[in-house]
Amino acid sequence: MNLAIVLGGLTILIGLAILIALVDAQARRSAWRRIAAARREVEEREHALLYRADDAA
């Protein structure tokens, strides 16, 4: 009886750990996508400003 309780508890804990790891991985991927999009936006703005400055000169 005690072994069944321990194994059941371990199964629940392992399942919870896997679920947390999956959620964390998804959040990290999402964050890196947002960072990459922000970097691209900054690069596009810099590019536009540089070429606008070159055209004006």
How confident is the model over 2-57, as pLDDT tens digits?
999 999 999 999 999 999 999 999 999 999 999 999 999 999 999 998 888 667 65
Region of 5 (left: φ > 0; alpha: ψ -120 to 50; beta: rest) is: alpha
- What's this model's pTM, rounded to 2 decimal places? 0.65
Give the integer Cα–Cα distance in Å for 3 and 52.
Answer: 73
pLDDT of res. 52 = 82
Give the integer Cα–Cα distance in Å for 28 and 35.
Answer: 10
